[in-house]
Amino acid sequence: MTLHPKIDALTARIRDRSARTRGTYLERMRRAAEDGPRRAHLSCGNQAHAYAAMGEDKDRLAEHRAPNLGIVTAYNDMLSAHQPFERFPDLIRDAAREAGGTAQVAGGVPAMCDGVTQGQPGMELSLFSRDVIAMAAGVALSHNTFDAAAYLGVCDKIVPGLVIAAATFGHIPAVFMPAGPMTSGLPNDEKAKVRQRFAKGEIGRDELMRAEMKSYHGPGTCTFYGTANTNQMLMEFMGLHLPGASFVNPGTPLRDALTRAATARALAITALGNEYIPVAEVLDERAFVNGMVGLMATGGSTNLVLHLPAMARAAGILLEPQDFADISAVTPLMAKVYPNGLADVNHFHAAGGLAFMIGELLEAGLLHEDVQTIAGPGLERYTKEPTLREDALIWGDGPDHSRNDKILRPVGDPFQATGGLQDLSGNLGSGIMKVSAVAPDLHVVEAPARVFHDQEAVRQAFRAGEFTEDCVVVVRFQGPRANGMPELHALTPLLSVLLDRGLKVALVTDGRMSGASGKVPAALHVSPEAALGGPLAKLRDGDVIRVDAKAGRLEVLTDGALERDAASPDLSANGHGLGRELFELFRQCAGPATQGASPLLPSEGTS
């Protein structure tokens, strides 16, 4: 299990680059931890307020000898993925009492559903909701009465926001408790075909609605491999879940047993016991490298290329776009889950899932085994699978082979030799492309540009029948400073129709497309963004653009194109309506996409 030399060198590069910021962070966490459990330092009045509603747990809390777990929950019943969390606090409180501790809901954080806001103005709040979540979790834990934190979150911005908060409170343990995916419904490829037929005008809204309701049909995470399920993968690869917890369906005995076990584990690793594991020790450069390897091996969401640098910065670790490219170059693509294939995450889990994948990657030296995790030292623990045997939760050996090689393959026989994401750079800036679902003949598109300032203008051009030739659709002024960097997933059905007509089409944008970007070659997160005068702001219709995923290039080939003045459209409409007026400060302060686009974290290191 010798570490791959390129993974070793990359990790050393990140460690050296982050030496100052990581050192400062760890010293801050050491000082925060040195006073021991915090409740003992609160006044009697402070404590009385904190315990007033705790009933039978009051005495145990006041004695300070039993650990107290703070629950930070993203529960709402508008997100299918988060609805199961409604009953988690009672389950956690009961499990905490059994383990000799206590648990309190410290606070809630917002959790918006990108599936509801896709193509709508509310999507312009989506990315910045990550930073609001981090802040809200900070408020929850600021009461300083908790010896560990349990984070209940699953979806797109929620998990990254909670990780940022966990790193900020890195002197206490942090355990992430997932809810699991919904059971399989209408196959994702069938749903996609219905969407395309609707985009063509072949069917009406009633038929579209029936298909969507059959696909998104019950509690749990959406079953395609988008950002939410990429988050869950990441939490296992980074050691923040219990092993095997990610893809167990909600409402099952095994799901409840894992939640109870996670509660007991959180209480066992506080500073009050003999196995203290502050999350600052879990979230080191090796954990983030492991997370990036998992992202590439699974062909995960492009959103995590945006979130991981922000998450890392909160722990004093500096990631750069080249890090992702270098990891992709040595990491094989081992999974095919929709939109990269026909299977959903339930099928992936049944085929061997993360336990098989982690075992294979460890054996190939592509993961750091010598990491700290919430389950204890060593990533080898995450090759185990949880099962219930006579109501007892046990971990046994995970699968040593794939049960379906159309979904999951070993390192030695992957779907492709390199990872599912490709870094792009050139005279148009830097960006990222999810190539795992894109046909090989579309990895290079060179064609005239069609330039738009929002996705509605693209829709109108499509309806008017304007797309009749190969083209590169440029949708600019969609970055964090312009309008909060919304996902442009509503363009996927339209552009897919053009591909089905035999046209070679690519998308270039300073916005996002999510983990559901599918078969459209899309250069995303282009930075510098157009709103800051980036090269995209200088393009005009007809400029020849080359999007080359093979060579990792993103270029305009038209002479003189970048010598023009930058376009400066009226973006005032992005500043009001549906709460957007409340986020003006976030838009003004957002960092570049290459560093996580956060308004909270310094763009040049962590002080």
Annotated binding site: 155, 222
CA distances to 121, 137, 306, 357, 378 from 168, rounded to whole Å, are 31, 10, 19, 30, 24
> Is residue 334 a contact partner of residue 360, using CB atoms and an 8 Å limit?
yes
* Tokens matching residue 178: 């997932």
Annotated binding site for [4Fe-4S] cluster: 155, 222
- What phi and psi values does residue 67 have, to the nearest 5 degrees? -70, 145
CA distances to 325, 357, 513 from 551, rounded to whole Å, are 11, 28, 21
Q: How many CA atoms lie within 13 A of 592 on its CB side?
A: 19
CA distances to 196, 220, 224, 243, 290 from 228, rounded to whole Å, are 23, 10, 9, 18, 18
Collect all residues with Cβ–Cβ distance below 8 Å to 97 and sequence separation of at least 6: 57
Mark residue 498 as left, alpha or beta (left: phi above 0; alpha: psi -120 to 50; beta: remaining). alpha
Amino acid occupying residue 304: L
> Is residue 503 a contact partner of residue 462, using CB atoms and an 8 Å limit?
no
Place of tokens 């299977």: 343
Nearest-5° angle of CA 220, CA 222, CA 504?
175
> Is residue 325 a contact partner of residue 419, using CB atoms and an 8 Å limit?
no
Amino acid occupying residue 95: A
- The DSSP code sequence of 338-384 is TTSSSB-HHHHHHTTHHHHHHHHHHHTT-S-SS-EETTEE-GGGGGE
> Is residue 151 a contact partner of residue 226, using CB atoms and an 8 Å limit?
no
Nearest-5° angle of CA 451, CA 456, CA 459?
80
Of 87, 95, 64, 285, nearest to 175 by C-alpha is 95
> Is residue 159 a contact partner of residue 174, using CB atoms and an 8 Å limit?
no
Place of tokens 């998992």: 294
* Tokens matching residue 517: 């970007």
SS3 (DSSP) at 473: strand
Cα–Cα distance measured from residue 512 to residue 187, given in angstroms and rounded to the nearest whole number: 25
SS3 (DSSP) at 556: strand
